[in-house]
């Protein structure tokens, strides 16, 4: 609720939001009321830009920031019926949308789908923490599983390693 004086000088009160509104929504409504602005739509891309300015982003390692930047580009450029996913209001995101996004991405690359889901879980966790949204829609989505990679040295590499070990003169060579 805000108090103000109208054109005639009378004091008036106006309720901005219901009791279920988040602090971010209340602040945004109050700013709009003061400035007479239309309500700004908070989309995926606008909130990602805020996330990238946060302390949480700065505390990530450089390689994680680079990887998450690739995830953001892939997620934001995903096509929707109305355009691209990056321009969709964050309030329209659902658990089903995140799951479908992961399934669609897994068709081309399961490992990238896993990384993109990890980013979304961190991002929506941050959104909940700072009260941009009430629910973490990425949290219930289960991560895909990948079979472990098996790496075997080929025969030439193995023989080269044994030869190098024999030439080194260490005592353990007798047991090879």
Tens-binned pLDDT, residue by residue, of the chain (176 aa): 666 666 566 676 777 677 777 777 777 777 776 665 444 568 999 999 999 999 999 999 999 999 999 999 999 999 988 889 999 999 899 999 999 999 999 999 999 999 999 999 999 999 999 988 999 999 999 999 988 888 788 889 888 888 887 787 776 655 55
In terms of domains, do 86 and 123 share one? yes
In terms of domains, do 51 and 126 share one? yes
In terms of domains, do 97 and 63 share one? yes
- Rounded to whole angstroms, the Cα distance separating 91 from 126 reads 15
At 124 the pLDDT is 96
For residue 173, being part of any structural domain is answered with: no
In terms of domains, do 82 and 155 share one? yes
In terms of domains, do 107 and 156 share one? yes
What is the β-pairing status of strands 11-14 and 2-5? antiparallel
Q: Which residues pair with 14 in a beta bridge?
A: 2
- Rounded to whole angstroms, the Cα distance separating 109 from 154 reads 27
Among the listed residues 54, 69, 50, 53, the one whose alpha carbon sits nearest the alpha carbon of residue 119: 69
pTM as predicted: 0.65
At 37 the pLDDT is 47
With beta carbons less than 8 A apart as the criterion, state whether 2 and 16 touch.
Answer: yes
In terms of domains, do 16 and 91 share one? no
Indicate the number of domains in the chain.
Answer: 2
- Rounded to whole angstroms, the Cα distance separating 95 from 26 reads 25
At 29 the pLDDT is 74
In terms of domains, do 150 and 75 share one? yes
Q: Domain span at residue 129?
A: 41-168
């Amino acid at each position: 609720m805000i108090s103000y004086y109208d054109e005639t000088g009378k004091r008036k009160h106006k309720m901005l939001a219901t009791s279920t509104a988040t602090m971010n929504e209340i602040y945004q409504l109050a700013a709009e009321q003061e400035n007479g602005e239309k309500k700004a739509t908070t989309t995926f891309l606008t909130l990602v830009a805020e996330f990238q300015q946060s302390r949480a982003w700065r505390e990530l390692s450089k390689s994680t920031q680079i990887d998450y930047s690739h995830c953001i580009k892939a997620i934001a450029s995903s096509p929707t019926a109305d355009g691209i996913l990056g321009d969709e209001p964050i309030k329209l995101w659902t658990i089903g949308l995140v799951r479908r996004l992961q399934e669609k991405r897994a068709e081309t690359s399961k490992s990238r789908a896993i990384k993109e889901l990890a980013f979304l879980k961190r991002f929506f966790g941050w959104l909940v923490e700072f009260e941009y949204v009430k629910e973490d829609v990425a949290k219930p989505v289960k991560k895909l599983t990948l079979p472990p990679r098996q790496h075997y040295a080929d025969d030439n590499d193995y023989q080269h390693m044994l030869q190098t070990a024999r030439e080194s003169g260490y005592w353990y060579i007798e047991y090879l």
